[in-house]
Chain A
Amino acid sequence: MRYRSQGDGPFIGAARRRLSVSLCLLCVFAASLRSAEAQQLSLPPVTRATLDNGIRLVLMEYHRTPTLNVSAVFPGGDAGDPADRAGVAGMVASLIRRGTEKRTATQIAEDIDFLGGSLGAGAENDAFTVSLSVLAKDTDAGLDLFADVIRHATFPEAEVERVRQLELSDLEALPEDPGSIASRVTTETVFAGHPYGAVPTITSMKAIARDDLLAYYHRFLIPNRMILVAVGDFHTSEMQAKLRARFGDWPKGDEAALNVPSVAPTKPKFVLVDKPDATQTQVRFAEVGFPRSSPDYFPARVANGILGGGFTSRLVDEVRINRSLTYGIGSGFRAWLRGGEFTVSTFTKIETTRALLDTTRAVLKRTAEQGFTSGEMQKIKGYLSGQFAIGMQTPDALAAQLADITFYGLPDNYLQTYLGRLRAVTLADANRIAHAYFPPDRLSLVLVAPAAKVSGQLKGLGNAETRSVETVGK
């Protein structure tokens, strides 16, 4: 493979040196920029409706392939886990398709597999999502299963223990994978003390009782909290009727508020996870970012794109292409309800760990202090505009965007105004983001490496809190 993208999707920066091509090529180049920026994306219309029990329906017809994607999104997510029971939401996600009042785990597996499609659930920081993907001809059978697991999950004791054992084994195996360790320890470090930083451990997974799962399920999976998104090869009125038939009689639940505090910035830390057998150092720089509702969202997409998004970004150009220090480097902002993060991810062989750290820090420092050029701004907007159009080809991507719009309270015309919002970002906006988030001294640093072999290169970086890889996930 040529590269793997990291961070918040493939954004691009642009050349910092003059393009040395013939005049004719430059014409084409400029023309393509104008066209990408001028483009208006025409998407199928969206129908929104609210059922009597509070379910918010969002429907979009998609006729490119004979398929159906449906997602149910509920607020709560991992942040709804009890304080000492990290992993409850994830367990509920695993167990929701392992038994209902009418179907055993085996029957559910058999039924969805027979359709050839997928039925799954997952939790992230704030949201709990159940998703169905089937061929359009299997709409009724698929929706029956989807509604059954959402409304009538039973969490059989034997299934709870099965899933617990799987989760425990996965946590036991965690020290095998340097990249996963680095990302996990980064989350723990940046969000220390906040629910976003409470990741499941062997201790927390052992403490979870079936009652915790039932409590979570009944508290968060209720119709008056549900966003129901369908994108597929259907007629809107018929799909609306099918969804109403399966969810319309679901009685409202008690909508107790979940008070997740805003994320507070943390002091930068330096953590070294000792993995004695590694021949490579995994590196993460990270800090607290901003919530999804922040006006910084679009400026940050632009600034991050130039810094470490696509293949011509400053970080990829300097660290990978000019110096061959790594196979992959990227940066990204992620934003949730109560806060977000900014991360730079990369890796290099042990011998060049310090060179990688110094080069990355130098790019961050220069970008924070000097900002961007108007040429870079123009190019990044062309790139992000084109990527948006390309990304909106799949029903998965469309459904995810539509769910986000309702979940985060974005304007209904968000997709239609997306390109305009990108264009509206000014050089001053992007420079402000760079100044605020990119100074390297603000960032926590997490390394996964053999401590004995790498420590000689870490002088002057401050005292690392060193922990054994065997402590991760315990």
Chain B
Amino acid sequence: VSWLALAGVGLMVSASLSVPAQQPLAVSRLRLKNGLTVLALEDRSSPSVAYYTVFRVGSRNERPGITGLSHLFEHMMFNGSAKFKPKMLDQLIEAGGGSSNAFTTSDTTEYQEDFSPSTLDIVLQLEADRMRALKLDTANIEQERGIVKEERRVNYDNSVEGSMDEMLWNSAFVAHPYRWDTIGFMKDIDAIRLEDAKAYFRIHYAPNNAVVAVVGDFDTKWLFDHMEKYFGDIPRQPAPRPVVNAEPPQRGERRIAFYRAAELPALRIGYHIGSFKDPDDPALDVLAVILSHGESSRLYRSLVYEKQIATDVNASNESRIDPGLFTFSAQAQQGHTAAELEAAIYAVLDDIQKNGVTDREVQKAKNVLRFDFVNNFQTNMGRARLIAEFEANWGNWEKLYDYLPKRDAVTPADVQRVGKKYFSDRNRTVVTLYPEKQEEKEAAR
């Protein structure tokens, strides 16, 4: 019942997308007068259409007291609008052979729908109506509040992994909203008020704050005509207030002791880095692959294979719109401590800082990034997501053509340089999990 030996496949996040250089994409762009950007890519090879929306809003747009609002709002987008009663969106899309989903990150909120071509017209009406006039009332917000609190319980409060990741970001940031997770704090989820949601909707879900991508079996002229017809008169709104990055430079290591019910020790480490537009970002992507992609990676070889102190170790370049973190996570094997994991990770980083990486490792990383990128193009949804995210984050979907060349240009010297630049103890936050065994907790009561 297990896929024990499958090598990990790269997570599809905006920071790890890349492009098949041999196939220019025939994407058309429409900009409505109200600022809505629409991207269209026809592909008749599958009788389906993907409709993808990115709103440029996430938990970075929140403030203390309303943490989690972006995500709570994501849920509320499915509960009816002026012309469509609650539940109708899913009923219409699912009956038309489709499905809908959504997710929220610190930087964006993204909606995805996949359906049969003949459902496209009604989807445009549904989408336009909820962008124009979402139904926001007390019953609606209370319903989703309860559901989101269950989501927080299952993915954070009752998850060792989720609670450790949250604690790392809680601890690594002092002033920037990246301090809190997109799920928000439980008491803030309780405290969010209807008027918070209304104000939020008006500014952040305005057409000028959104990008729509449509990919699949449709006619572009028909699509653009109907986008104009359904979305054209939704009013533009003032630009959202810019997020202030007041994060002061870190001036010393932060160490967090984290006690909770668990079986084995575990560790999180985060180093402050730049944004995904920082020129160092490609080298950090390459470094993350060299450190932890596959069983040949530096960290896997040292911690899991040779020292046999970890069951799992991961390095990740979590660059975002504002400066993010380069993170490490590791889970101890039985009989080993978080301190051993930490020392072994530092030994690997020290070695890269002193001796650099090989040409072959850098080439391997480029091959991995290319493979992950090409796989994004298999589905209409994958293509829609790619072009919508690049348009939303870079202002132009064609920037995705730069993704691979920028990574292909990375040299071993670049990798060593960014390793030296960011992996210093003063720039570091460490979260150590001290497991409280279940029976010990019982005895303590």
A2-B75, A113-B7, A324-B147 are contacts. A33–B294 as well, Cβ < 8 Å? Answer: no
Name the distance in Å between B224's Cβ and chain A's nearest Cβ: 19
B158 in contact with A90 (CB, 8 Å): no
Please give me the residue from chain B that is nearest to A448 by CB atom: B158
B45 in contact with A90 (CB, 8 Å): no
Choice from B7, B114, B147, B378 contacting A120 with Cβ under 8 Å: B7
Contact with B along A137-171 (1 / 0, CB 8 A): 00000000000000000000000001001111110
**Across the interface, which residues of A come within 8 angstroms of B244, CB to CB?**
none
The reply on B360 being an interface residue by CB < 8 A is yes
A389 to B29, CA, bound (A): 27
A135 in contact with B3 (CB, 8 Å): no
Name the distance in Å between A131's Cβ and chain B's nearest Cβ: 7
B311 in contact with A166 (CB, 8 Å): yes
A277 in contact with B438 (CB, 8 Å): yes
Contact with A along B296-313 (1 / 0, CB 8 A): 110001001100100100
A173 in contact with B331 (CB, 8 Å): yes
A176 to B333, CA, bound (A): 14
B2 in contact with A123 (CB, 8 Å): yes
The reply on A84 being an interface residue by CB < 8 A is no
A172 to B98, CA, bound (A): 41
B264 in contact with A113 (CB, 8 Å): no
**Across the interface, which residues of A come within 8 angstroms of B332, CB to CB?**
169
B87 in contact with A389 (CB, 8 Å): no
Q: Give residues 1-50 of A contacting B (CB, 8 Å).
A: 1-3, 10, 12, 14-15, 19-22, 25, 28-29, 31-33, 35-36, 39, 41
Q: Give residues 46-80 of B contacting A (CB, 8 Å).
A: 46-48, 74-75, 78
The reply on A297 being an interface residue by CB < 8 A is no
B150 in contact with A116 (CB, 8 Å): no
Please give me the residue from chain B that is nearest to A383 by CB atom: B94
**Across the interface, which residues of A come within 8 angstroms of B31, CB to CB?**
none
Please give me the residue from chain A that is nearest to B142 by CB atom: A324
B5 in contact with A94 (CB, 8 Å): yes
Q: Give residues 92-129 of A contacting B (CB, 8 Å).
A: 93-97, 105-106, 109-110, 112-125
B94 in contact with A310 (CB, 8 Å): yes
B96 in contact with A94 (CB, 8 Å): no
The reply on A228 being an interface residue by CB < 8 A is no
A113 in contact with B20 (CB, 8 Å): no
Please give me the residue from chain B that is nearest to A199 by CB atom: B1
A67-B374, A135-B374, A312-B90 are contacts. A120–B96 as well, Cβ < 8 Å? Answer: no
Choice from B7, B150, B367 contacting A119 with Cβ under 8 Å: B7
Contact with A along B322-358 (1 / 0, CB 8 A): 0000000001111000000000000000000000000
The reply on A387 being an interface residue by CB < 8 A is yes
A1 in contact with B7 (CB, 8 Å): no
B150 in contact with A348 (CB, 8 Å): yes
**Across the interface, which residues of A come within 8 angstroms of B442, CB to CB?**
276
Q: Give residues 16-65 of B contacting A (CB, 8 Å).
A: 20, 22, 45-48
**Across the interface, which residues of A come within 8 angstroms of B48, CB to CB?**
386, 389-390, 393
A174 to B334, CA, bound (A): 12
Name the distance in Å between B98's Cβ and chain A's nearest Cβ: 6
A20 to B87, CA, bound (A): 11
Please give me the residue from chain A that is nearest to B7 by CB atom: A118
Name the distance in Å between A448's Cβ and chain B's nearest Cβ: 10
Name the distance in Å between A85's Cβ and chain B's nearest Cβ: 15
A122 in contact with B3 (CB, 8 Å): yes
The reply on A347 being an interface residue by CB < 8 A is yes
Q: Give residues 255-275 of B contacting A (CB, 8 Å).
A: 260-264
**Across the interface, which residues of B come within 8 angstroms of A168, CB to CB?**
334
A311 to B142, CA, bound (A): 19
A contact residues, range: 35 or more
The reply on B375 being an interface residue by CB < 8 A is yes
The reply on B245 being an interface residue by CB < 8 A is no
**Across the interface, which residues of A come within 8 angstroms of B437, CB to CB?**
470
**Across the interface, which residues of B come within 8 angstroms of A78, CB to CB?**
1
Choice from B88, B148, B333, B377 contacting A165 with Cβ under 8 Å: B333
A32-B116, A131-B6, A326-B147 are contacts. A390–B98 as well, Cβ < 8 Å? Answer: yes
B364 in contact with A14 (CB, 8 Å): no
Which of B99-107, B277-285, B390-398, B416-424 lines the interface with chain A? B99-107
**Across the interface, which residues of B come within 8 angstroms of A131, CB to CB?**
6
Choice from B2, B95, B364 contacting A382 with Cβ under 8 Å: B95
B91 in contact with A19 (CB, 8 Å): yes
A176-B262, A310-B94, A387-B99 are contacts. A90–B2 as well, Cβ < 8 Å? Answer: yes
A2-B101, A122-B6 are contacts. A278–B90 as well, Cβ < 8 Å? Answer: no
B371 in contact with A123 (CB, 8 Å): no
The reply on B118 being an interface residue by CB < 8 A is yes
How many A-B contacts are there with CB distance less than 8 Å? 302
**Across the interface, which residues of A come within 8 angstroms of B5, CB to CB?**
93-97, 120-122
A317 to B125, CA, bound (A): 23
A468 to B84, CA, bound (A): 48
A324 in contact with B47 (CB, 8 Å): no
B46 in contact with A389 (CB, 8 Å): yes
Please give me the residue from chain A that is nearest to B374 by CB atom: A65
A97-B5, A165-B308, A390-B114 are contacts. A117–B143 as well, Cβ < 8 Å? Answer: no
B1 in contact with A187 (CB, 8 Å): yes
**Across the interface, which residues of A come within 8 angstroms of B251, CB to CB?**
none
A280 in contact with B439 (CB, 8 Å): no
A277 to B441, CA, bound (A): 8
**Across the interface, which residues of A come within 8 angstroms of B372, CB to CB?**
116
A90 in contact with B4 (CB, 8 Å): yes
Name the distance in Å between B406's Cβ and chain A's nearest Cβ: 17
A143 to B144, CA, bound (A): 50
A39-B116, A390-B97 are contacts. A280–B154 as well, Cβ < 8 Å? Answer: yes
Name the distance in Å between B329's Cβ and chain A's nearest Cβ: 14
**Across the interface, which residues of B come within 8 angstroms of A1, CB to CB?**
101-104, 151
A36-B97, A122-B5 are contacts. A166–B304 as well, Cβ < 8 Å? Answer: yes
B101 in contact with A66 (CB, 8 Å): no
A90-B2, A123-B2 are contacts. A394–B378 as well, Cβ < 8 Å? Answer: yes
A122-B3, A134-B371, A312-B91 are contacts. A178–B158 as well, Cβ < 8 Å? Answer: yes
Choice from A120, A167, A170 contacting B6 with Cβ under 8 Å: A120
Name the distance in Å between B284's Cβ and chain A's nearest Cβ: 18
The reply on A320 being an interface residue by CB < 8 A is yes
A327-B148, A382-B95 are contacts. A116–B20 as well, Cβ < 8 Å? Answer: no
A169-B333, A275-B438 are contacts. A390–B46 as well, Cβ < 8 Å? Answer: yes
Please give me the residue from chain A that is nearest to B182 by CB atom: A1
**Across the interface, which residues of A come within 8 angstroms of B263, CB to CB?**
172-176
Name the distance in Å between A418's Cβ and chain B's nearest Cβ: 13
The reply on B160 being an interface residue by CB < 8 A is yes
The reply on A459 being an interface residue by CB < 8 A is no
A32 in contact with B75 (CB, 8 Å): no
The reply on A82 being an interface residue by CB < 8 A is no
A103 to B240, CA, bound (A): 57
A86 to B227, CA, bound (A): 57
**Across the interface, which residues of A come within 8 angstroms of B101, CB to CB?**
1-3
Q: Give residues 142-191 of B contacting A (CB, 8 Å).
A: 142-151, 153-154, 157-160
Q: Which 9 pairs from chain A and chain B are nearest by CB?
A: A386-B97, A324-B146, A120-B6, A116-B371, A116-B367, A277-B261, A109-B295, A122-B3, A113-B294
A-B contact pairs, 7 of them (CB 8 A): A33-B95, A109-B295, A112-B294, A113-B364, A117-B371, A118-B8, A387-B99
Known: A28-B122, A135-B371. 6 other contacts (CB 8 A): A29-B95, A39-B116, A67-B378, A169-B333, A177-B160, A280-B158
B residues apposed to A, CB below 8 Å: 1-9, 20, 22, 45-48, 74-75, 78, 83-85, 87-88, 90-92, 94-104, 114-119, 121-122, 125, 142-151, 153-154, 157-160, 260-264, 293-297, 301, 304-305, 308, 311, 331-334, 360, 363-364, 367-372, 374-375, 377-380, 436-439, 441-442
